[in-house]
Amino acid sequence: MAAPASPTGLDHDAGWVPFQVSVDVASATVVVAGEFDRDHAPHVLDGLRSLTGSGRPRWVLDTERVTFCDAAGLRTLVTGHHLARRHGCQLVLERPSPCLHRLVVLVGLHDLLALLPGGPPAPDEHRSPPPAGVLRAGQRAPVIPTPAPPTP
* Listed range (12-21, 47-56, 96-105) with the worst mean pLDDT: 12-21
Q: For the whole model, what pTM was predicted? A: 0.69
At 129-151, the pLDDT tens digits run 444 444 444 444 455 566 666 77
Task: Tell me how far apart the 2 most distant CA atoms of the chain are, in Å.
Answer: 65
Query: Which secondary-structure segment (H or E) carries 99?
Result: helix 98-107
Between the two ends of the chain, the Cα-to-Cα distance in Å is 61
The domain segmentation of the chain, as residue ranges, is 16-120
What is the domain class of 16-120 according to CATH? alpha beta
